[in-house]
Each structure stands twice: as structure tokens, then as C-alpha cells.
Amino acid sequence: MAKKPNLAVDTRPWRDPAAKPFVRIRNVTKRFGDVAAVSDVSLDIYRSELFCLLGGSGSGKSTLLRMLAGFEIPTSGTIEIDGQDMTQVAPYNRPVNMMFQSYALFPHMNVEQNIAYGLKRDGLGKEEIAARVAELLTLVKLQDYGARKPHQLSGGQRQRVALARALAKRPKLLLLDEPLGALDKKLREETQFELVKIQETLGVTFIVVTHDQEEAMSLATRIGVMNQGEIAMIGEPTDIYEFPNSKFVAGFIGSVNMVEGVVTEDEPGHVRIRSTELGCDIYVGHGVDCAPDQTLWWAIRPEKMMLSRDKPEGLNGANVTHGMVEDIGYLGDMSVYQVLLDSGKRLRVTQTNTVRGNPDSISWDEPVYVTWNDTSGSVLTV
């Protein structure tokens, strides 16, 4: 087996302040008329990373990608790729290739001609092009489809042709705009792994735009969450999910229970928050940058909470609240409970179904206690 290239996913260069970024986006703003699609974005992406730009529609993620490809020129700011300023360079002079959301396969050319298109522009010899095309067809497992036209292929096959075509010129940087968006769920899951595998074998830097958080979580080395043209948070998938930096990020990724509270104790080792919304105190087992009497938010994921019929001990008289099961959603692997607290707030709690057909499981209209650990939630000030 070929030696695995030195990948960003293993070395994590972003944790090393001395590491040199491969793509350097500096204070980039793009305005369309009065609307700033992207405003003052700065972002470093390292070699052989698989970076995901995650955001809803209109968050500016696609515009940022198009500026990297050269289809849009930033209103202000600079884009550097591999140490060279690329801000004003035309798309056909960039060492960058893009895989389009619609795939943009040339309908009048067959699969081989599509893949060879960029190679011909580079003035490669006939034999070399043929060899490279064959190699790429093998990579995307379409060896027998070279002579087909795009309209004779299925959606998944077209997606792979588009990927092969974008990889053909061995770009330093590959941009992927919603690469799996047009595929059905099952195919998408399979293709996700294939995409990561291809990225890891080639060691090319990928920047993927997606609105699908699940896709971003499973693909990315790091995720950049975008909101209204700005970067809301940059981090590894676990950081983004477990340690969101704002209410927006916590709410955008996965589902979350969020409550408002007031700081009553602010010690270096712990914080106590009184939340009338939750109907109890929240004891946080680590220091938080806040002041007494400050109003802030506390967010917790549904799977970090536990349900019980008997009153649990709690922690220093906190982290226990009471309510009634209002609704249960059975998803097979787990069940989602909607608990109506005595305070009127609704909580979403998930429990893994570890026992098959458990007759003793908590059921509708049952009064229950909800509890959690002192490190399970995130305290958010913005």
C-alpha cells in the first residue's frame, strides 16, 4: 500500500501558531450593490485540509467559494493561495479547480472528453492525457463509462465525473460547491466516505461548501460556520458541536436546549446560574468569564441530559429539574422525549434505546426528573 501522505487531519497544523497557512483570506468583503454578501472575513486554511464552509442560504459561503475560484473579485481584502496573491487573477490562471453544485458537465462531450478538457488546455500529449484520464476513471470507479455522454449517466455517476474532471489538472486546491447536495440520502452517505478517502489518498486541499451540518461534521477537518456574511466560528467538528462560542452556532449545529439565567456565584472553579426558565439552579464545574448578576445563556444538547422517575441527588442543590413527558419520538436507535417543565419551558432529551423493547421505559404523561453533569452544558454570553 502506498504511503499515506502527511495529512492535516493527523498533524492539525491549525493548533501550531508557527504553521504557514496554504490559503490566506484577509479581510475579504464582497458587496453586490448595497448588500454585503461577505463582510470582513479572515480565514486561514492549511495544506491538505478538508475545510467545510457551513451556513444557511444567503450566509455568503458560496460567494466566498466563488471568490476563491476567481468568478467574483472581492470588493476589498486579499486572497493568497500558496503564498501568491490571487485576488485579481482570472479563473483560468489559478491553480484551483472547482466542482460545481450542478456538476456543469459539458453535455456535448463524453465522459473522457469532459475529464480531458482541462488537460488539453495544458497542452499535454495525447498519450499522457489518455493515461491520466484512465487513472482518474479508475479513481472514481467509472472505467467502463468513458464513452458515455453525461445524460446517459445517473446522478451519482455524474457527480463522480465532475469530481474526476476537477481533479484532472492536479490542482493545489479543490473547491466543492455542495458536492453531495443532488444525491439521495443513502448515496450521499456512501459518497461522503469515498470523498474523504480520495482526499486522503491525494492529499489535495479541499474546501467544501455545504448547508448540511451532518455532511460537514463527517467530512471536515475543520468547519467554518458562516452567518450573514461573517464567520461565526472556526473549529474542529467536536469544538463546534461541544463548545459553541455563541447562541447562533449552538442553535445552528444539531439540536440544543437553551435557557436564560442570572449568575449568582462567580468563582474561579465554578459558576452558579439561577434560571427561572429551567426552574432550578445550574452548577457549572469550571470558571466562566462573567460577572455576578450578569444575564447569560446556557445551552445543553439533548443527549447530555438524563431522565429518571426517582429524584436524583443533583449537585450542590442544582442541576435537577422536574417536568412531565409530553411527547415521545421513537427513532429506533434512540427516543426523543419532549418534557414540559413545571416552569412551562419544554426540553428535548434523547435516550439511547439500550434494551430491546424495554417494557419499563418512561412513557407519555409520566412525571420525570431531568438531570445533567456539571460540565455538560455551554455557558454563552453572546
Partner 1 sequence: MSYEPTIPPPRRLKPWKAVERGLAKVGISGKALVLIAPVLWLLVFFLIPLAVVFGISLATKQFGRPPYSPLLTTEDGTVQLTLHLNNYIKLFSDSLYVAAYLSSIRIAFIATVITLIVGYPMAYAIARAPDPWRNVLLMLVVLPFFTSFLLRIYALTGFMRGNGLINQFLGLFGIEPLVMMQTDFAVYVGLIYSYLPFMILPLYTTLVKLDASLIEASADLGSRPWQTFISITLPLSLPGILAGSLLVFIPAVGEYVIPALLGGPETLMIGRVLWDEFFSATNWPRAAAVAVAMLAVVVVPIMLLQKAQNAVVEK
Q: Which residues of this protein are in contact with partner 1, per CB under 8 A?
A: 69-71, 90-92, 96-98, 100-102, 104, 106-108, 117-118, 121-122, 149, 165, 168-169
Nearer to partner 1 by Cβ, of 6 and 84: the residue is 84
Q: How far is the CB of 63 from partner 1 (least distance, A)?
A: 14
Q: How far is the CB of 114 from partner 1 (least distance, A)?
A: 9
Nearer to partner 1 by Cβ, of 42 and 102: the residue is 102
Rounded-to-integer distance, Cα 339 and Cα 182, Å: 36
Nearer to partner 1 by Cβ, of 106 and 364: the residue is 106
Q: In what order do the strands lie in the sheet with 23-32?
A: 35-45, 23-32, 76-81, 84-85
What nine digits make up the cell of 285? 464545574
| Cβ-count burial 105-141 (b if 16+ within 10 Å, e if not) | beeeebbbbbbbbbbeeeebeeeebeebbeebbebbe
Q: In what order do the strands lie in the sheet with 346-352?
A: 305-308, 367-372, 320-330, 334-341, 346-352
Q: How far is the CB of 71 from partner 1 (least distance, A)?
A: 6
Q: How far is the CB of 117 from partner 1 (least distance, A)?
A: 5
Q: How far is the CB of 181 from partner 1 (least distance, A)?
A: 14
Nearest 10 degrees: CA dihedral of 349, 237, 216, 56?
70
- Count of alpha carbons within 13 angstroms of residue 40, beta-carbon side: 1
The owner of cell 479581510 is: 27
Nearer to partner 1 by Cβ, of 75 and 101: the residue is 101
Q: What phi and psi, each to the nearest 5 degrees, are found at residue 244?
A: -60, 150
Nearer to partner 1 by Cβ, of 61 and 301: the residue is 61
The owner of cell 479547480 is: 97
| Cβ-count burial 348-382 (b if 16+ within 10 Å, e if not) | bbbbeeeeeeeeeebeeeeebbbbbebebbbbbee
Q: How far is the CB of 102 from partner 1 (least distance, A)?
A: 5
Answer positive or negative: Cα dihedral of 122, 127, 132, 134.
positive
Nearer to partner 1 by Cβ, of 210 and 335: the residue is 210
Q: How far is the CB of 155 from partner 1 (least distance, A)?
A: 16
DSSP lists the bridge partners of residue 320 as 371
Nearer to partner 1 by Cβ, of 149 and 322: the residue is 149
Q: What phi and psi, each to the nearest 5 degrees, are found at residue 280?
A: -165, 175
Nearer to partner 1 by Cβ, of 87 and 101: the residue is 101
Q: How far is the CB of 164 from partner 1 (least distance, A)?
A: 12
